[in-house]
Structure 1
């Protein structure tokens, strides 16, 4: 495929600095295991997430169990995307990590440690929410507008989730095929928000995102969709 037609990931120049990486992913279907080392050689963006001010230790996050929480977005040549969430310099032994489960859809994953992606089309009120659990379970929801859920929305495909944990961190990677992305005209941007719920062993929840705009955690707030992802996905008729 000519380079000019590759999907691309962009972040506005006034946003926080990002670290470009080169790497790549190959996923076995529906298996939660150690992330693989190869990734597609297409543009990559990495950003640091921040705890909401109401989260425990928000004013001094280095004192808590999460040292750094990084989120990376990979655009795939076939039009899909890979999202990676990584805790570094952390104390995962102090966190409540969901145990492995049969991969597949599940509700209320956000009540425990869970990594989230929100995608919207510019100029449209609707958006999609993607939840990925370290257990290997996932959820995808469609919304007409802010928190107005489309109850009969059925995902057209399924994501693939990988998870690994070390003594001082963890990583979750989710591959989202093009069929699961909101349809946009070719070359148009998707608006993206990346977030995470982190549960401590004592049951307290931390809410992390690239941007927080409300007094209480609200990952659905559209003004937090500050990243952009351009894909080759065609807009539905």
Structure 2
């Protein structure tokens, strides 16, 4: 019951702030529309982009799932600035349960939005299971974004600046598809590197995609675990 009330309160907070509801509703809808209707027209007009649909779909998916992370992080930064997070330590729910609730909620929403982008945009031909697996892997960057921004940002202005930098880093793995074999693993320290290569392997019907999936899950969980400890130490000290 407490979690239901929290969810309702969180949704109301998103609707109250223009930046949050734009990032939560308008931006994903606009990105889906671009991927579904504009990108095919651009590819038809500029055939040089034909064959890169999986990278384009991956880039849109990263933007969608990181946008959900941005919304949740901005809410946490607001609560951090107002002293709400300090007060949570004395509530029955507890800081750990509260943070896990926020991260789990953000991840599940990111999975849904990511699945919609990968399965319904028409850029790639994935089965339901493949699209879900790819969406899940991409969505794991969402809690990492939440934790990074809310741990190291002191306010929403800093959070916005940090998100711009994070977005650029998350798109860097695209470069790995245009460098000689072997060199592309130099970007493997960025967790969504494995998400991009997993979706590319699925689209190419290769035998190796599930190795990329496993490595991707491991890379994301290691980063989330590190950031979770940092958040608890710096915010719930």
TM-score bracket for this pair, using the shorter chain length = under 0.3
The normalised TM-score by structure 1 is 0.25
The normalised TM-score by structure 2 is 0.25
Q: Which has the higher strand share?
A: 1
Larger radius of gyration: 2
